Structure 1
Amino acid sequence: MRDRARALLIDLDGVLRRFDPAPMIAVEVKYGLKPAALLETAMSWDLYRPAMAGEITDAEWMKLVADRLPLDAAEAAAAVAEWQPARLGEVEPEALEFVRSVRAAGRKVGLATNATDRLRGDLDALGLTGEVDVVLSSWELEVHKPAPEFFERACQEIGEQPKHVLFVDDDDRVIRGARSSGLSGYRWTGAEHVPYLRKVLDLPD
């Protein structure tokens, strides 16, 4: 049988944080952009990768996004600026309840996320800073998921061998990377599987 996990590493976006798409859609409609233009542009690999790997700041990333939008410079800058408040998102309460229950049982919890230099400010604004034992940011580590080096550093920071760490993320590619690095990886689709995750961590019912 596989070793029981002794610690939890959990993703932020799509797990502990959720986003209401309505404000972004409103900006796109206002400026005549196609649906999802802002997010798709931001997630373009040549823009996204350096932002997550600590090579450029969040502000520089957003400037590159604005430069690529099919608008004149002033309108593009305005559209990106109006989108920024929505990027804070909100806490997913059921995921936070799970994190709290894991820590209450004496297990360490690390937030392991691809992020920019705005992460720490976002965590403070969301009230999440004190909810985890350690924060693993790709921007600070200068390596992003699913690189093996990310998982190696994350396990070192949480103080457990990979075989004793449960990694929860909403991205299949990241989960495959975690498993390849020796961690127990589980793809988050919602709180319905929390009882199973508790068993993986050997927590009482």
Structure 2
Amino acid sequence: MVDALADYRALLAEGDVQVAVSDLDGVLRVFDTTPWAALDEQLGLPQGSAFRAVLRDPLLEDVTRGRATHADWRESILSTLRRQGVPTGRARRAIATWADDRGRLDTDVLDVLRDAQREGIDVFVLTNGTDRVREELEGLRAHEDPAHSPPRRFSSLLDPRGERVLNTAELGEAKPDPAAFAVAHARIERVLGRPVPRGAVAFLDDSASHTEGAEEFGWRAVRLRRA
């Protein structure tokens, strides 16, 4: 991860970069992986069952394209767990436990983006998100650590309700589809009020397919690998 952030810093330092675009989940926002085992135990299912039920749910593709809601997703997960023999009440409690985890900000990534912003680079987030993303970002902002210096660092980087949050559930297209990058780029140009060359966008994501898709579109991309 350190090497990838150094590579991204170096890319941002190139004089022709105008816009920094970061993925959200797995990059700017991270989650503890240990609760998955606790959820399996809570459900009484084999290891890996909760992860598959949530993140391999067939409705997720529609959710990230705005064709279904986070609530629909939860109900689909519930149906999967019930088919596996989990009692409804137990399944609902486990789903609520998962859904209530809003993650935390990765301060190393946040620092890179804040530094870019101070150098005059416009910062955006592009996430394969749900209709709850803005609400979740509001929650992260509300729980910022006041001991951080400077305080409220995320708040000064990005307005959770603003146009620099590019949420695929609102855009109607999801990474790595070429249309997702096209509509995101068009939104960036509209927000900034000027044309932006594709090669002037520096993209950070933890997915190989997403960075490859970005590069095929013409953005310059760095993949963030976590150990």
For the Cα contact (< 8 Å) 1:52–1:139, is it kept in 2?
yes
Secondary structure at 2:58 match in 1: helix
- What is the count of residue pairs matched by the alignment? 188
Deviates more, 1:93-102 or 1:123-132: 123-132
Aligned to 1:46, the other structure's residue is in SS state: coil
Alignment correspondent of 1:185: 221
Question: Percent identical across equivalent pairs?
Answer: 29
- Gapped runs of 5+ residues in structure 2? 1-13, 142-153, 190-195
* SS at 2:66 equivalent: coil
Say whether 1:14 aligns with 2:26: yes
Partner of 1:199: none
Matched residue type, 1:19: F
Q: Which amino acid aligns with 2:175?
A: K
Report if aligned partners of 2:29, 2:104 keep a CA contact under 8 Å in 1: yes
Q: 1:151 pairs with 181, 188, 209, which one?
A: 181
Alpha-carbon shift at residue 189 of structure 1 (Å):
2.2
For the 8 Å contact 1:15–1:169, the answer to whether it is kept is: yes
CA-to-aligned-CA distance 1:89-110 (integer Å, 9 cap, x gap): 1000100011100111111011
Return the letter of the residue paired with 2:157. Answer: E
The structure 1 residue matched to 2:44, chosen from 20, 32, 46, is: 32
Deviations 1:30-55 (A, max 9, x none): 22122232222222262210111101
Q: How does 1:41-52 map to 2 (within 5 A)?
A: 41-44=53-56, 46-52=58-64
Measured in 1, the distance between the counterparts of 2:60 and 2:49 equals 14
Residues 1:170 and 2:184 are matched in the alignment? no
Contact map agreement 1:123 1:129 (CA 8 A) in 2? no
| Distance in 2 of aligned mates of 1:130 and 1:84 | 26
TM-score between both structures, scaled by the size of structure 1: 0.85
Equivalent-residue separation in structure 1 for 2:201 and 2:20 (angstroms): 6
- Counterpart contact for 1:108–1:158, Cα < 8 Å: no
- What's 1:138 paired with? 168
CA distance in 2, matches of 1:168, 1:147: 16
**Cα shift at 1:175:** 0.6
Q: Is the 8 A contact 1:155 1:161 kept in 2?
A: no
Per the TM alignment, residue 25 of structure 1 is displaced from its structure 2 partner at its CA by: 2.2
Deviation, structure 1 residue 129: 5.5
What are the Cα deviations for residues 169-194 of structure 1, in whole angstroms up to 9, with x where unaligned?
Answer: 0000001100111111110126xxxx
Classify 1:183/1:5 alpha carbon distance in 2 versus 1 (closer, same or farther; 3 Å): same
- The residue type equivalent to 1:111 in the other structure is V
SS in 2 for 1:155: helix
Cα–Cα, structure 1 residues 34 and 44, in superposed 2: closer, same or farther, change >3 Å? same
Report what 2:131 is aligned to.
117
Q: Which moved more, 1:135-144 or 1:23-32?
A: 23-32
Q: How much has 1:155 moved relative to structure 2?
A: 1.6
Q: Match of 2:218, as an amino acid?
A: G
Matched to 1:181, the amino acid is F
Cα distance between partner residues in 2 of 1:156 and 1:149: 10
